[in-house]
Structure 1
C-alpha cells in the first residue's frame, strides 16, 4: 500500500466508524434530525479531546503528524475494538510490516499441518495465507465448497472465488454475512501489511469485478478471528449447519485455518459423510 493509498484507507475507515455511532451511544444528546447517519466530526473531536479542524484533516486523509496517545483517544471515542485499533494504528502511523519480509517464498503446507487437515475428516478445512490465497484444503472442503484442484493456482484466492463463482454465491443462506467475515479478516491483514502493494492491486481488481465486493468492503469491518454459525444450502446435501472457527497458524508463513465444524444436534455430519461416499 503506497502512502496515498494508506491515507485514503484511513479516511474511509474513520468516516465509516463515525457513521456507525449514534449520539446516544456515546453519551451525547440525540438532538434533532440529521442529514447523514452517525456522529458529526465535531462530536468525535469533542470526545477525543482534539480540535475539530485537526480531526477533519485526519479524516480527510491529509498528511499530518499523529501520536499514539491521540490515536488512542480517537479509538476510544469511536468505540473501536482491539482489531480495529490495530488497523487504525497501522494506517495512521505506517506501523505495518516492512516490505522486505513480504518477499519471502510462497508459504507451503507442512507435513504436520497436512496431517491435521486429514484428521479433520468431516470438518471442511481450508488453509490460506495473508493474501487469502488457498494453500491447502481437505477432502471435506472440496465436497462442500468446490474442487479447488480444478481451479488454476493463480485464481485460487478465497476472496476472489467467493465473489466470482456462482456455486459459492449460492452456497451460504446469508451470503453477505458469510463473506463479511472473510473481508473483516482480510482488512486486518491489509492494515497490518501496509507496505505490501499487492493489496491495492487486488482491491482495484475486485472492485471492478464485483459491485458486491465494493459495497461490503466500504463497511470497513475489522476482526482477526470471527466465530460464527453458518447455514449452507448445498446443491446435493441440502441444509448444512457449520460453526466456522478461524485459527492463525504460528510461524513465518502467516497461515490461517478456517475450520467448519458440523453443528451439534444437526444432521450435517451424516449428510457430509454420505456426500463424501458418493462416487
Structure 2
C-alpha cells in the first residue's frame, strides 16, 4: 500500500481504538456526559505526553515525523495489545516485510504438514496463507464447513467465504464474533505486509460488495493467534462446540494452521464421527 493509504489506515484504527477506551480505565473521571464514547483526542495527548496538535495530526493521517518512543506512549494510553502495537508501528513507521510470493504462486504444503492434517482426523483443520487463502484442509473440515475441493482455487479465501457463502453465515451461532476472529488475523497481516498492494485492493472490493464488511472491519482488533470458543449449529449434526486454536507454521511460506478441537465433555466429536462415517458409507 502507498504511504497515504497506510496513513489513512492508521487514522481509522486510532480513532476506533480511542473510542473503546473509557475515561475510568485510563485513570480519568468521566465528568459531564460525552457526545461520543471513549477518550477525547486531547486526553490521549495529555496521557501520552505529546501536544494535542501533534496527536490530532497523527490521528488525521497527516504525514508527520513519528518516533517509536512516542508511538509506544500512545499505544499504552490506547491499551493496545502486542499485535495491535505491531500493527500501528508498521503503518506509522513503514516497517514490515515485502510482499513475498506473487499472488499466482500458491504455497506448497510440506509432506510433514500434510501428515499433520491427516492425523487430526476428528479436528477440522484449515491451512491458509498470509492473504487468508485456503491452501489445505482435512476431511473433517469438509464435513463441518463445506467441500473446498468443489470451489475454484481463486474463490477459497476465508474472508470472502465468510461474507459470500450462506453455509458459513448459518453455521456460526454468533456469526459476527466468528467473522471478527478472522478479521483480527487479516488485520495483523495487513499491517505486517505494508508493501503489498493486494490487501488494499481486496479491502476495496469487500467494502463495495458487502456493506456489513466495513462495520466489522472498523470494529476488529488485531491478533496473530486468537483462541476462542465457537458454537456451531450444523445443518446435519446440530449443536457443535469447538475451541479454535490458530498457529503459525514456521517455514519459507507464511502459513497458518487453524485447528477446531471438539470441546471435551460434549457430544461434538461423536457427532463429527457420525457425519464422516455416513459419508464413507454413501461413497462405498
Asked if TM exceeds 0.5, the reply is yes
Measured in 1, the distance between the counterparts of 2:70 and 2:101 equals 30
| Structure 2 alignment gaps of length 5 or more | none
2:150 maps to 1:150: yes
Q: Which residue of 2 aligns with 1:36?
A: 36
What CA deviation, in whole Å up to 9, does each residue of 1:242-278 have, x standing for no partner? 0000000001101000000000000011100010112
Aligned residue for 1:191?
A: 191
- 1:233, 1:35 → 2: CA distance? 39
Residues 110-164 of structure 1: CA distance to partner in whole angstroms, max 9, x if unpaired? 1110110000000000000000000000000000000001111111101100110
CA–CA distance in structure 2, aligned partners of residues 234 and 108 of structure 1? 31
8 Å Cα contact 1:125/1:259 also seen in 2: yes
Q: How does 1:66-145 map to 2 (within 5 A)?
A: 66-99=66-99, 101-103=100-102, 105-145=105-145
SS of residue paired to 1:180: helix
SS, match of residue 245 in structure 1: strand
**Contact residue 13 and residue 220 of structure 1 kept, 8 A:** no
C-alpha displacement of 1:173: 0.3
State the alpha-carbon separation in 1 of the partners of residues 48 and 241 from structure 2.
Answer: 43
Q: Please give the alpha-carbon distance, in whole angstroms, between the structure 2 residues aligned to 1:23 and 1:47.
A: 11
Q: Deviation of residue 234 (structure 1)?
A: 0.4
- For structure 1, the residue ranges without an aligned partner over 5 or more in a row are none
SS at match of 2:24: helix
RMSD, aligned α-carbons: 1.0
The 2-side partners of 1:117 and 1:275 are apart by 18
How many angstroms does 1:77 deviate by? Answer: 1.0
TM-score by length of 2: 0.96
Structure 1 runs of 4+ aligned residues shifted over 2 Å read 101-106
Q: Is the 8 A contact 2:207 2:214 kept in 1?
A: yes
